[in-house]
């Protein structure tokens, strides 16, 4: 059975994206593929068990017939360190991971294992990526961001840690690389990685749509209330605009796929946005959506106009500054309902990752 343990040098490098794309690519090459996230965060509640969002995503997208608890046997939160300082508990946890892996990998031709961030992550629990990967017997794939300097330095640190545990790192993928970086990553990064005992397996260009949140994610982030356009919450946000100016000045900054954040009492700005979106055939000047702040809702007549214009509107209790701060710090995730983004992920991995070479190395 082929096993691939996927990790990254830091948060936001795109482990979920690449894992999703590789699941699709490898599922076309084997009869049965399985997935596991040995240690995850307590993100979601499934029955009486907390599960990491990635496990739930992969299970739903690929319709895996496996116990979700075995796909993600260990979940942690900020109180977990008290549990794992006990050496007996650590051994029990490693045993639990191994038993779950044996259950879900039965009959599989290949297993993808999504680790945490960094080779040493989890070492304080006695459950570092390197320890877990060694226990499960997988080869390692490292993801990092685009760039020659710091990303490669981080790759070397992670690579040496994995190698010190006797693990083979099959290769490195650079994700979210800007156009001006790609040639240098190939001509310098590739040979450099070979000198370190691994190889370059892909360079995925930066994609704004993949990095952008949807209105649904925005609503969840700010714990907002959907006031209009619920069927269009899958709209992707291109840029964020705070409507604090008069309508005449605000309109200068309106553009397609814009998220407008303004006070719920600013009907004048909302009307200007509505008029803008209805000019030029609608879709060419469409807003991604509106967030109305301070717990104030516009008149029902205005809300009805927004509904008819198919513009999603979310009400927030917080002030505009708090809303913007929360959104700019949020981590963009992939939802099982976001079919367009998932299809884009599949295409990006297929086009920019050496899938066949990687498959042969496992």
How far, rounded to the nearest angstrom, does the alpha carbon of residue 317 sit from its chain's CA centroid?
27
Pick the range with the lowest mean pLDDT from 45-54, 63-72, 311-320.
45-54
44 pLDDT band, cuts 50/70/90, is: low
- DSSP per position, 216-254: HHHHHHTT-EEEE-GGGTTPBP-EEEE--S-HHHHGGG-
What CA dihedral angle connects 201, 206, 207 and 213, to 10 degrees? 110
- Angle at CA of residue 268, ends 244 and 217, nearest 5°: 60
Per-residue pLDDT tens digits for 263-294 = 988 888 888 888 877 765 445 457 889 999 99
Per-residue pLDDT tens digits for 154-182 = 999 999 999 999 999 999 999 999 999 99
CA dihedral for 125, 128, 131, 135, sign (positive or negative) = positive
Options 3.10.450.40, 3.40.1390.20, 3.40.30.10, 2.60.120.650; which CATH number does 213-329 get? Answer: 3.40.1390.20
Token pair in block for residue 54: 């990635």
The answer to whether the CB of 353 falls within 8 A of the CB of 22 is yes
307 pLDDT band, cuts 50/70/90, is: confident
Q: Where in the chain is the domain with CATH 3.40.1390.20?
A: 213-329
The answer to whether the CB of 143 falls within 8 A of the CB of 177 is no
Cα distance between residue 315 and residue 53, in whole Å = 25
Strands 74-76 and 44-46: unpaired
Among 8-12, 13-17, 195-199, 242-246, the range with the most confident prediction by mean pLDDT is 195-199
Pick the range with the lowest mean pLDDT from 14-18, 88-92, 108-112, 128-132.
88-92
pLDDT above 70: percentage of residues in the chain: 91
Under DSSP, the state recorded for 5 is E
Token pair in block for residue 109: 């031709």
Query: Residue holding tokens 């240690």?
Result: 39
How far, rounded to the nearest angstrom, does the alpha carbon of residue 308 sit from its chain's CA centroid?
32
Burial 165-182 (b: 16+ CB within 10 A, else e): eebebbbbbbbbbeeebb
The answer to whether the CB of 142 falls within 8 A of the CB of 9 is yes
In the beta sheet, which residues pair with residue 261?
Answer: 242, 291
**Which run of H or E residues covers position 348?**
helix 339-352
Supply the pLDDT for residue 284.
47
Token pair in block for residue 186: 């190939």
Radius of gyration of the chain (CA): 23
Pick the range with the lowest mean pLDDT from 37-41, 288-292, 340-344.
37-41
Please check the confidence at residue 91 and state whether its pLDDT lies above 60: yes
Pick the range with the lowest mean pLDDT from 79-83, 88-92, 181-185, 289-293.
79-83
Cα distance between residue 331 and residue 271, in whole Å = 31
Cα distance between residue 269 and residue 273, in whole Å = 6
Supply the pLDDT for residue 281.
47
Q: Where in the chain is the domain with CATH 3.40.50.300?
A: 2-210+335-361
Neighbours of 286 (CB within 10 A): 22
Query: Mean pLDDT over residues 121-142, rounded?
Result: 88
Q: Which of 91, 86, 93 is nearest to 72 (CA)?
A: 93
Looking at the whole model, is its pTM more than 0.75? yes
pLDDT above 90: percentage of residues in the chain: 44
CATH superfamily name and code, 2-210+335-361 = P-loop containing nucleotide triphosphate hydrolases (3.40.50.300)
Please check the confidence at residue 141 and state whether its pLDDT lies above 60: yes
Report the half-sphere exposure of 339 (CA within 13 A, side-chain side).
0
Supply the pLDDT for residue 167.
94
Please check the confidence at residue 311 and state whether its pLDDT lies above 90: no
Query: Residue holding tokens 């000019």?
Result: 279
Supply the pLDDT for residue 80.
61
In the beta sheet, which residues pair with residue 44?
Answer: 51
42 pLDDT band, cuts 50/70/90, is: low
């Amino acid at each position: 059975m082929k096993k691939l343990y996927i990790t990254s040098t830091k948060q936001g490098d795109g482990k979920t994206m690449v894992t999703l794309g590789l699941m699709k690519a490898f599922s076309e090459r084997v009869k049965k593929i399985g997935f596991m996230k040995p240690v995850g965060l307590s993100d979601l509640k499934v029955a009486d068990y907390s599960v990491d969002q990635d496990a739930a995503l992969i299970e739903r997208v690929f319709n895996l017939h496996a116990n979700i608890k075995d796909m993600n046997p260990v979940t942690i939160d900020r109180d977990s360190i008290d549990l794992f300082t006990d050496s007996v508990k650590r051994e029990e946890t490693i045993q639990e991971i191994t038993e779950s892996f044996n259950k879900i990998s039965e009959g599989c031709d290949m297993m993808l294992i999504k680790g945490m961030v960094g080779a040493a992550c989890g070492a304080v629990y006695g459950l570092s990526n390197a320890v877990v990967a060694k226990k499960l017997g997988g080869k390692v794939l490292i993801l990092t961001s685009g760039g020659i300097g710091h990303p490669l330095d981080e790759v070397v640190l992670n690579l040496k840690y994995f190698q010190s545990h006797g693990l083979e790192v099959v290769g490195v993928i650079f994700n979210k690389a800007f156009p001006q970086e790609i040639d240098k990553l190939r001509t310098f990064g590739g040979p450099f990685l070979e000198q370190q005992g691994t190889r370059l397996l892909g360079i995925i260009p930066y994609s704004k749509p993949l990095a952008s949140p949807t209105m649904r994610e925005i609503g969840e982030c700010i714990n907002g209330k959907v006031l209009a356009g619920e069927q269009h919450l899958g709209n992707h946000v291109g840029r964020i605009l705070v409507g604090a100016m008069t309508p005449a000045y605000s309109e200068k900054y309106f553009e397609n796929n814009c998220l407008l954040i303004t006070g719920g009492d600013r009907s004048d700005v909302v009307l200007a946005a509505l008029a803008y979106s209805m000019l030029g055939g609608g879709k060419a000047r469409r807003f991604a959506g509106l967030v109305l702040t301070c717990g104030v809702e516009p008149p029902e007549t205005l809300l009805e106009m927004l509904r008819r214009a198919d513009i999603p509107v979310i009400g927030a209790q917080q002030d505009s500054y708090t809303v913007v701060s929360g959104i700019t710090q949020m981590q963009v995730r992939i939802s099982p309902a976001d079919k367009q983004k998932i299809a884009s992920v599949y295409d990006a991995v297929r086009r920019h990752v050496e899938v066949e070479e990687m498959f042969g190395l496992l």
